[in-house]
Amino acid sequence: MGHSNSLSLDRAGLESGSQSAKRQKLTPPTEQGENGSGSSTTTTTTTTTNGAAAAAAAASTDGNMPLRGKVFTITGGASGIGLATAKVLSRRGAAVAIADVDPEAMKGADAYFSGLGVPYSITRVDVSRRAEVDGWIGGVVERFGRLDGAANVAGVIGRSHGTASVAELDDADWDRIIAVNLTGMMYCLRAQLRKVVDGGSIVNTSSIHGLKGFANHSAYDASKHGVIGLTKAAALENGAREVRVNAVAPGAIYTPLMQKNWDLVGRPADAPFNDPSAFQRQGTAEEAANVIAFLLGPESTFVSGSVYAIDGAWV
Q: Is 232 in the active site?
A: no
Torsion sign (Cα): 61, 67, 71, 72: negative
Domains of the chain: 20-310 (3.40.50.720)
275-313 pLDDT, tens digit each: 888 898 999 999 999 999 999 999 999 999 999 999 999
Note the pTM of the prediction, 2 decimals: 0.82
For residue 263, pLDDT over 70 is answered with yes
Please indicate whether residue 224 is annotated as part of the active site: yes
Sheet holding 149-152, edge to edge: 44-47, 120-124, 95-100, 71-75, 149-152, 201-205, 244-250, 307-310
List pLDDT tens digits, range 234-246.
Answer: 999 999 999 999 9
- Give me the catalytic one of 220, 254, 260, 308: 220
Mean pLDDT across 204-227: 96
Sign of CA dihedral 275, 276, 278, 282: negative
- Per-residue pLDDT at 36 exceeds 60: no
47 burial via Cβ count (<10 Å: 0-12, 13-18, 19+): middle
Distance CA 36, CA 151 (A): 17
Instruction: Write down the catalytic residue from 120, 224, 254, 308.
Output: 224
